[in-house]
Chains A and B, each alone.
Chain A
Amino acid sequence: MDNALTSSGMKKSFGRSLLYTLPMFLITFMFMTGGRPDFSRPASALAMVVTFLFVNILYFLMHYTGKTDKFRAILFIIFALSLSFTLINNMLETRNSMSFSQADILECKIPFCHLVIPMMILPAAFTNSIIFPGSIIGGFANIASMVVLWLVATLVLGRGFCSWGCFYGGWDDGFSRIRKKPAIKKISEIWKWMPFAVLIMVSLTAALSLIPTYCDWICPFKAVTEFEQVTSVESATKAVIFVSLFAGLVVVLPVLTRKRTQCGFLCPLGAINTVSNKVTPFTIKIDKKACTECFKCVEVCPLFALSTEGIKEGKASVFCSKCGKCVDACSKNAIHFGIKGVPSCTMKNFSRNLFLFVSFLFMSVFSAGSIINSLQSLLNLIF
Chain B
Amino acid sequence: MQGGFWSAAVPRCAGCQEGANGVKCAWLLGPRGRWVEGMALRRFKIALAQISPALGDLERNLALHEKLAREAASHGAGLVLFPELSLTGYFIKDLVSSVALRAESPELRPLLALSRDVALVVGLVEETPDRRFYNAALYLEGGAIRHVHRKVYLPTYGIFDEQRYFAAGDRARAFDAALGRMAILVCEDLWHPALPLLAVHDGADLILCISSSPGRGLGPEGRFANAAAWEAANRTYAALFTVYLAYAGRVGYEDGACFWGGSEVIGPGGEPAAKAPYLDEALLYAELDPNELRRARIANPLLRDERLELTLRELGELVRRRSGGSPPSHG
Are A and B genuine complex partners?
A: no
